[in-house]
Structure 1
Amino acid sequence: MIHPHIADALKVPDLVRLTDKIILIRFESMKIYSALAAVRHLLERGTIRSGQTVIDSSSGIYAYALALACHRHGLRCHIVASTTVDTTTLAQLEILGATVEQVSHSDNLKLDQELRVRRVREILSDHPSWHWMRQYHDDVHYLGYHEVADRIAAAFGGTALTLVGGVGSGASTGGLAERLRAKDPSVRLVGVQPFGSVTFGSQEHHDPEAIIAGIGSSIVFDNVRHHLYDTVHWLDFTHAMSGTVALLRDHAVFAGLSTGAGYLAATYEARRHPDRPHLVIGADTGHRYVERVFARHGEALDPAGLKPVEISAPAEMSTPWSRMPWPRTAWPTGRKEPEA
């Protein structure tokens, strides 16, 4: 097949068997699906037009995906980037034609995200014709994952499946689970979170090592649909790093930190539920984690000796790894989510 644009080629994932019960769905950059489908839908609906500027904030892979989608469809792109965006990604964004600005350096996830959202609002006040993509809040970002879900359903047939992935904005795990459950309601969804994320109530637990890009948030994301998740894992940086290094060492898979966290969670889940395959979402490659993760491989723990603390409520949570059933429950009534 000859693709009309590199984005169409890069978006397609590969399925890789890691063990009898764990399969990796490996993306070059997962959010290309989301960005392409969102941009195409907005163009078809007339919400945006060719040549217009779209804007959003990002910690990395969505920025790259949006820049590719804009390149493909003749749009201008402006990114307010996190301090976690590396020089390789920045260079690609600029060459693709995106304009990029990074917020002031911060080791605090909440401050980093708040600064980015504040800056986007400032820019929009000066450029009201620009369109804010709102990857964290606009459910148009669910659309692209329907195609991925159909590929998964075709590959697994009628097999009962557990999906494991970083929660992040909610669109990837949520979009896949909703589409898969339309045919098979038994599909389980396991979400992975870092400590410090408000999404499932771990904001009181600070992990000084990490901003685990893409799987957690210090502000409320409207695209997270809590009622889709069956189980949630919270892992600290060291455990996520250990899973990431183990993936490369044991399976030759060079993937990002969220993939390693998901792999560690899936390994535990597969021991508890050996009756079904566990599909781990590998959102990106490991290139932007070379210095922070792979160069420190000597510090990685042996996953065979790791297991979570089983809890029944967020108040019982403890580092470095906690696991809690979340039986497709909506955010608790009367419980106020932190404001963005």
Structure 2
Amino acid sequence: MSSHHENDPPLGIRSPERGPETAAPVHEHITDALKTPDLIRLDGNVVLARFETMKVYAALGAVRTLLHRGRILPGQTLIDSSSGIYALALAMACHRYGLRCHIVASSAVDSVMRAQLEVLGATVDQMPPSQNLQLDQERRVRRVRELLADRPDFHWMRQYHDPVHYVGYRELAELVTGALPDAPLTVVGAVGTGASTGGLVQALRETGRAVRLVGVQPFGSVTFGSEHFSDPEAIIAGIGSSIPFENVRHELYDTVHWLDFRHAMAGAIGLLQEHATFAGLSTGAAHLVSSWEAARDPERLHLVLGADTGHRYAERVFARHTEAQDMRTLRPRPIGTLDELRPPWSVMEWARRPDPASARCTNSVEPVEVTP
């Protein structure tokens, strides 16, 4: 795969024309500048939407809607649990609209992120280091409930469950519609809370556009039925979950890929090597998946969601770049049911099934540890 393209790309994706310089817009608040992604063509039929923090769409859309509906009031404290980028997005939305913010933070939130939150005026409860994602998430939810019991005036944003977080992605759908040709489209992204992939694709499909949705999951996530696996190296807190998320609408997804940490790392390092694009681990996983998907269906346009930059993975991923596998040599194992799921990389035609139970042949599975 080459990162240099001399000819006009197919499918009507055009490089910007050279012409007179135009004035950049003057934004009223930093959130307006941050929410818009850079669209980068990775290959003829693959475009990366690379965000500094994608969840600004979710947080802004949710806060604006809740204020409009009178469910929250200026000066009120908004509280939620987060492993990183939603926390920052919510703190910035609160800064913009004169609201207070309280974050119950994952142990994965680093000192740089915590400092930003505190300077923005958010109060931060951070969980102690834990052995796995499930324990970290359970502690966070328990702490949120404790705080709400003491302070019923707090509003719990419930980013994992409240469908109000879908609203902001309609604006992203409008941007995609305006920027990309009206061709059959495949959206590839980490599932996480379900709001980004689900919100974008639902809005695009409502316009009548033919859109496939490809979701990316880590092993160990309950969301698409891989909870019986354990990946000791997994630090992809924003991709999967140890608890069910109501904002994940399984029936929106056409295909699901499960990747281990090493494959996500290969994708992130490959993206930087081939395209000089420094992005997070979930983006690396989506990049690897989209490369395989696009090669199988070259006539279809593929849009990759790059949720954040690579800064918080600098030490645990990018500093270890010499260990990374060559992503061009990696291939997934196609499976027909969840009973066949195996590390390090499996792919299944989900076919818009309503839940993981409908994707199994048997009802019991034994725990399996992913071998590094």
TM-score, normalised to structure 1, is 0.97
Q: Describe how 1:254-265 pairs up with structure 2 within 5 A.
A: 254-265=278-289
1:31 aligns with 2:64: no
Q: Describe how 1:64-213 pairs up with structure 2 within 5 A.
A: 64-213=88-237
**Letter in structure 1 aligned against 2:215:** G
State the distance in 2 between where 1:264 and 1:332 align.
Answer: 24
Deviations 1:15-52 (A, max 9, x none): 10011121100111000011011001111111110100
**Letter in structure 2 aligned against 1:9:** A
* Cα displacement (A) at 1:259: 0.1
* Cα displacement (A) at 1:122: 0.4
Q: 2:16 is matched with which residue?
A: none
Q: Describe how 1:177-326 pairs up with structure 2 within 5 A.
A: 177-326=201-350
Q: 2:28 is matched with which residue?
A: 4
- Match of 1:25, SS? strand
* Cα displacement (A) at 1:273: 1.1
State the distance in 2 between where 1:206 and 1:316 align.
Answer: 16
1:53 aligns with 2:77: yes
State the distance in 2 between where 1:184 and 1:158 align.
Answer: 10
* Cα displacement (A) at 1:61: 0.1
Query: Comparing 240-249 with 99-108, which one deviates more in the overlay?
Result: 99-108
- Match of 2:176, SS? helix
TM-score, normalised to structure 2, is 0.89
Q: 2:9 is matched with which residue?
A: none
Runs (4+) of structure 1 moved beyond 6 Å? 333-336
State the distance in 2 between where 1:71 and 1:325 align.
Answer: 42
- Match of 2:230, SS? coil
State the distance in 1 between where 2:357 and 2:282 align.
Answer: 30
State the distance in 1 between where 2:255 and 2:270 align.
Answer: 23
Deviations 1:187-237 (A, max 9, x none): 000000000000000001110101312110000000000000000000000
State the distance in 1 between where 2:338 and 2:233 align.
Answer: 21
State the distance in 2 between where 1:332 and 1:271 align.
Answer: 28
**Letter in structure 2 aligned against 1:30:** M
- Match of 1:41, SS? helix
Q: What percent of counterpart residues are identical?
A: 64
1:40 aligns with 2:64: yes
Count of residue correspondences? 336
User: Residues 162, 275 of structure 1: CA spacing in aligned structure 2 closer, same or farther, 3 A cutoff?
Assistant: same
Deviations 1:278-313 (A, max 9, x none): 110000000100001000001100011100110011
- Match of 1:18, SS? strand
* Cα displacement (A) at 1:333: 6.6
State the distance in 1 between where 2:79 and 2:345 align.
Answer: 36
Indicate if the aligned counterparts of 1:107 and 1:211 stay in contact, CA closer than 8 A. no
State the distance in 2 between where 1:184 and 1:90 align.
Answer: 42
User: Residues 202, 332 of structure 1: CA spacing in aligned structure 2 closer, same or farther, 3 A cutoff?
Assistant: closer
State the distance in 2 between where 1:76 and 1:286 align.
Answer: 28
Query: Comparing 124-133 with 176-185, which one deviates more in the overlay?
Result: 176-185
Q: Which has the larger radius of gyration?
A: 2
